[in-house]
Amino acid sequence: MDEYLLEAKDLSVTLYTERGELRVVDGVSFRLKKRETLGIVGESGCGKSMTANSILRMVPAPGKISGGQIIFKGRDLSTLPERKLRSIRGKEIAMVFQEPMTSLNPLMTCGRQITEALRAHEKTDAKQAKRHALELIRLVGIPMAERIYESTPSGLSGGMRQRIVIAMALCNNPDVLICDEPTTALDVTVQAQILRLIDELKSSFGSAVLFITHDMGVIQQMTDRVMVMYSGQAVEYLQTEELFRKPLHPYTQGLIACIPGKAAVGHDLPVIKGTVPTLYALPKGCLFAPRCPYATKRCRCERPGLYGAGRHLVRCFQYEHKEASNSAADSGS
């Protein structure tokens, strides 16, 4: 049996607009093992969420998957008939979104939403479904499960709503749980609770987790491996421990330097100068070159490939001659 549960191979997503074709995900590759958490990190607009959405072919119009493969249990989800894909969505691969109200009906009771998610994939009667829903509500740490079961999301706090979304995602014991910025809209205390809950439930259910975030602190706390993205491309791919011990790409180094607490006392927090380039006007060479303190003439004229030494891959000419690799999927575990 293949040890990898989910693989993206040279995945590309394109938006087709009146102003032309925009490559929002550009040749991204990664692998996810059972019981592993892979983090995808980068600034807003770098393609993290589009990568996550493409796994279940949920790319919003006017976009579509324009290249590559998404292999799950030996099946290519990018070409799977929609009827078969529906049986996987929510059952074998489930998603927790950034804003819970985008995935919850504010006027329908929480209990009904969980039971409908369950009964969409499992043959069970109403009584059994309710019992399972109540167990899940308790499992995600919500007190007074019976009352919450009968409540609508509009009457709950943001943290409680996110717990209900997690309960829905887990109701069919998914093999892969995709978490797309699941704590961004929550205060720090609730954020910590949700992160701890996801980690505990991963251990309990044995799911693999794909964790999308812009927060390097969350990456350090939650993940086993990391893919750093910039302007739709993977720029570094490695073990989390290695990321914080020896980041190689200048963008990754900048992200880590910007973590609160890294700056010396009495000094301003470092920033990465400039902004992520617009897709309508990408640089000719390396996409990070306009913001990179080490950029050379070559960097401004040519696009680097993804180079690697062992299981650490980096998109930077500085590492061109270190065991070059064409794909992050070649990096192993």
**Rounded Cα gap, residues 169 and 161, in angstroms:** 12
**Rounded Cα gap, residues 189 and 113, in angstroms:** 26
Q: Letter for the amino acid at 213?
A: T
Q: Is 104 left (phi over 0), alpha (psi -120 to 50) or beta?
A: beta
Digit-coded pLDDT (tens) for 102-157: 889 999 999 999 999 998 888 888 999 999 999 999 999 999 999 999 999 998 99
Kindly indicate the confidence band of residue 161, based on its pLDDT and cuts at 50, 70 and 90. Answer: very high
Digit-coded pLDDT (tens) for 261-272: 665 555 677 789
**Cα angle 310, 311, 317; round to 5:** 75
Digit-coded pLDDT (tens) for 248-291: 999 999 999 888 766 555 567 778 999 999 999 999 999 999 99
pTM here is 0.91
